[in-house]
């Protein structure tokens, strides 16, 4: 029994698509540069380990994720042997170690749907930061309403799968104003018509709410970025990216 139920991350067949669809971008480049000077890094919600492995050279790096199928990809990734992988839940894990840098990338923060779970993850960040340590994570800005692009008409794409060949992919999504949670579907359809599907939920907390939760966790924010190119946050930014340290 997995700790989580999102098939996108626990179904090995769906997990095969993760790296095909997410192959590193500005977030990866920013984190590699940001890790400069850090000797130890904790990657919470590390998934298939793209970031953890990219920053591992010359550093002690630990990646935590509850999804065994994602961690299987991470372990097999070239360089994966240089990272300590922990199958665990970012809300509760306590490693008994402090880190110079704590990351949650790829919008992993958004998988936590309730204020209680979000606060629990931030407590985990705080409890693993060295006194001079820093944290960074990303959450999509609800004001940018990115989920409006995750509908069949706008999300049709093809993915070149190594054994299934060209696979058609699309999404569908619905926003629930009251909870601030988006429920989205991911569909993959192989040439033979076989379809695989996951229904996922992610939260879109507003920046002010995030600021309050970070404060409550004992974390101080030095800068709010609005994109992974280092641009400052504005109310219409696509991303909310706090960078900070223990208070």
Ligand X SMILES: C[S@@+](CC[C@H](N)C(=O)[O-])C[C@H]1O[C@@H](n2cnc3c(N)ncnc32)[C@H](O)[C@@H]1O
Strands 60-65 and 83-87: parallel
Judged by beta carbon, residue 220 or residue 240, the one nearer ligand X is 240
Our finding on whether 84 is near ligand X (CB under 6 A) is no
103-162 positions binding ligand X, by CB under 6 A = 105-108, 111
What is the smallest separation between the CB atom of 191 and ligand X, expressed in angstroms? 27
**Which region, judged by CB under 6 A, interacts with ligand X, from 43-51, 76-84, 166-174, 205-213?**
43-51
- Contacts with ligand X by CB under 6 A: the residue count is 21
Cα 22 to Cα 10, 37, 69, 118, 234, distances in angstroms: 17, 26, 16, 24, 25
Structure tokens at 100: 């110079």
In this structure, are residues 49 and 63 in contact, taking their beta carbons and an 8 Å threshold? yes
In this structure, are residues 232 and 226 in contact, taking their beta carbons and an 8 Å threshold? yes
12-31 positions binding ligand X, by CB under 6 A = 22
Our finding on whether 90 is near ligand X (CB under 6 A) is yes
Our finding on whether 65 is near ligand X (CB under 6 A) is yes
- C-alpha 37: how far from its chain's center? 23
In the complex, which residues of this chain contact ligand X (CB under 6 A)? Answer: 4, 9, 22, 44-47, 50-51, 65-67, 70, 89-91, 105-108, 111
């Amino acid at each position: 029994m997995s700790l989580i139920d999102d098939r996108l991350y626990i179904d090995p067949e769906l997990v095969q698509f993760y790296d095909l669809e997410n192959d590193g971008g500005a977030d990866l480049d920013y984190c590699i540069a940001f890790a400069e000077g850090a000797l130890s890094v904790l990657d919470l919600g590390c998934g298939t380990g793209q970031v953890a492995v990219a920053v591992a050279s010359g550093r002690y790096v630990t990646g935590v994720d509850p999804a065994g199928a994602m961690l299987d990809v991470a372990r097999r990734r070239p360089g994966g042997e240089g990272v300590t992988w922990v199958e665990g839940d970012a809300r509760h894990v306590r490693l008994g170690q402090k880190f110079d840098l704590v990351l949650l990338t790829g919008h992993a923060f958004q998988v936590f749907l309730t204020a209680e779970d979000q606060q629990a993850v931030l407590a985990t960040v705080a409890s693993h930061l060295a006194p001079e340590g820093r944290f960074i994570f990303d959450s999509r800005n609800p004001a940018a309403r990115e989920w409006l692009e995750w509908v069949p008409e706008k999300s049709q794409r093809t993915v070149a799968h190594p054994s299934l060949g060209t696979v058609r992919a699309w999404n569908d999504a619905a926003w629930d104003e009251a909870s601030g949670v988006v429920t989205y579907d991911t569909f993959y359809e192989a040439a033979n018509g076989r379809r695989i599907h996951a229904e996922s939920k992610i939260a879109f907390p507003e920046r002010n709410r995030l600021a309050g939760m970070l404060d409550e966790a004992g974390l101080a924010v030095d800068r709010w970025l609005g994109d992974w190119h280092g641009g400052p946050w504005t109310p219409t930014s696509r991303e909310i990216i706090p960078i900070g340290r223990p208070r």
